[in-house]
Chain A
Amino acid sequence: GENVEQHPSTLSVQEGDSAVIKCTYSDSASNYFPWYKQELGKGPQLIIDIRSNVGEKKDQRIAVTLNKTAKHFSLHITETQPEDSAVYFCAASSPRDDKIIFGKGTRLHILP
């Protein structure tokens, strides 16, 4: 089945700087890649997703890139703000089993 690796596990960036979180996946058939943000005491919330027919997608300060050949995808947050502090999960879904498999998460700290 699909396996998703996520790095780093913890990331600290200065407010205003950019943050990048990287993920790799194992199933070459995977074609849907959502990213979730989980704040303390809350459930994960979808923030952006990408399908394998595009290489990049952007929504304001958040962007996701996908490299199908290398089987990796990344989340980019620009001009980070204190409210960006949270745990971020990448995930992948393959049409083989139609399940979403999550990475282990990245705890992002925005430093004042």
Chain B
Amino acid sequence: EAGVAQSPRYKIIEKRQSVAFWCNPISGHATLYWYQQILGQGPKLLIQFQNNGVVDDSQLPKDRFSAERLKGVDSTLKIQPAKLEDSAVYLCASSILYSQKISGNTIYFGEGSWLTVV
């Protein structure tokens, strides 16, 4: 079974430039997550989709970050304009269901997109 696919794996941009990351979740997974992982810290949820609808985007800096999942499958996370503090790994993840209250609803992570803003 194919895992969560992300691209690009690595990106270096200058501050104030824009960048976009793409994610293809595991086939059949209705829930898709974008996490930000700053070096030395645990992943922090940015946005969660259930099919093509947003479940939670309370931690997404909406003045510069945007995300979409138009057809309920692939997703794109965009940062514009980037700041130095956006340097991090952006992890996409997916699960069959949206709730952690349901046993066995494992979240599967992709390998991440490493962003360096200079």
Contact = CB atoms under 8 A, between A and B. Distances in A.
Which of B43, B99, B106, B111 gathers most chain A CB within 10 Å?
B43
Contacts of B101: 32, 95, 98
- Main SS of the interface on chain A? strand
Interface in B85-118: 91, 93, 98-101, 103, 106-112
Contacts of A57: none
A45 B93 CA distance: 10
B106 A44 contact: no
Which interface class (under 10, 10 to 19, 20 to 34, 35 or more) fits A?
A: 20 to 34
Nearest to B89: A43
Nearest to A42: B111
Nearest to A99: B45
A105 B99 contact: no
A51 interface: yes
Contacts of A44: 43, 91, 109
Contact of B56 (A36, A43, A99): A99
Contacts of B56: 99
A38 B18 CA distance: 28
Interface of A: 4, 6, 32, 36, 41-46, 51, 89, 91, 93, 95, 98-100, 102-105
Q: Which 6 A-B pairs have the closest CB atoms?
A: A102-B42, A43-B109, A93-B100, A89-B42, A44-B109, A43-B111
